[in-house]
Amino acid sequence: MQDSNNIGGSRGSSDFDVRHRFVANAIYDLPFTRNRLVSGWQLAPIVSVQTGNPFTIVLASSAITGEANTVRPNVNGPVPVSGNPFGQWIVNPSAVFSTPAPGTFGNLGRNTVYGPGFADVDLALIKNTKLTERMNLQFRLDAFDLFNHPNFGQPGPLAANGASIITISPANVVPNTFSTVASTRFPTADSGSSRQLQWALKLRFDDHRKWIPSASAFVDPGGSSFFRIKLAPSTPADVFFRYN
């Protein structure tokens, strides 16, 4: 908030606002039924596509309030967005933004510019093998961000509060480093940051009675492994064992 005496002046979209989002998932049973080796295979894709989140532009100067990265600049017209994460996200910012007069606040609204969108495709390959009438063995291979599609973060330089910092010289010149993307949307190894593979093996003891115990093992090729015992579906009685 740039002006504590004008709370309404900081009204705007939330930081997690997404105007358009599309998610589709499916489970396809592969048509192989000859024997236990070739039957029971499934493909399960998940497709997620959404537009970007908004961000606020703040001045690096602390001359107005004594606190840097809180006051927004003046905007002199429409803010043109290039949509190019490899260049300046905002086109010709020197012609769009200017420093407010001494003792005044900028007229640019909060969270008025939207950053890069997000697109992700996950895919699971599943094999179910019936061992007995009550026992089922499931193997699955999960690929997150299957196509290793880059999802970019917000244009920076970024302040600690997530706002994009703009530096305007006395000659009203903005450096080329403003509104450039320097990172991905999520940290490395987080879902959606890069392609990740995981395989799991489950042994289920299916029964028509109330209690249905099962055992599961999860292994991440680049991280930890998990072993889980589930006692009943109607209670949160899951026991996890983790080892590195």
How does pLDDT run across 60-114, given as a tens digit for each residue?
888 878 888 889 999 999 999 999 999 999 999 999 999 998 888 999 999 999 9
For residues 206 and 212, the model is more confident at: 206
Q: How many CB atoms lie within 10 A of CB 76?
A: 13
With tokens 């908030």, the residue in question is 1
- The proportion of the chain whose per-residue pLDDT surpasses 90, expressed as a percent, equals 51
Sequence ranges of the domains in the chain? 1-14+54-115+152-175
Q: What is the mean pLDDT of the chain?
A: 83
Q: Torsions phi, psi of 149, nearest 5?
A: -75, 125
Task: Please say whether the dihedral angle defined by the alpha carbons of residues 132, 198, 224 and 232, taken in this order, is positive or negative.
Answer: negative
Distance of CA 55 to the CA centre of its chain: 15
- What is each CA distance from 44 to 73, 153, 191, 206, in whole angstroms? 48, 28, 17, 22
pLDDT at residue 241 greater than cutoff 80: no
Confidence (pLDDT) at 7: 87
Whole-number Å distance between alpha carbons of 113 and 165:
13
> 168 is written with which tokens?
């305007």
Is 155 within 8 Å of 164 (Cβ atoms)?
A: yes
Cα dihedral: 15, 69, 99, 7 (round 10): 60
Residues 19-47: what's their mean pLDDT? 92
Which of 78-87, 140-149, 214-223 has the weakest average pLDDT? 214-223
User: Could you tell me which residue, 58 or 204, shows the higher pLDDT?
Assistant: 58
Give the residue from 93, 141, 110, 121 showing the smallest Cα distance to 23. Answer: 121
Predicted pLDDT at 243: 42
Q: Which helix (H) or strand (E) holds 95?
A: helix 93-96
How many Å separate Cα 215 from the centre of its chain? 31
User: What was the pLDDT predicted at 227?
Assistant: 52
If you search the block for the tokens 């290039």, which residue do you land on? 82
Q: Is the pLDDT of residue 193 over 60?
A: yes
The pLDDT assigned to 45 comes to: 96
Residue with tokens 């579906």: 233
232 band by pLDDT with thresholds 50, 70 and 90: very low
Question: Residue 212: is its pLDDT beyond 50?
Answer: no
Strands 118-130 and 57-59: unpaired
Q: How far apart are CA 175 and CA 168, in angstroms?
A: 8
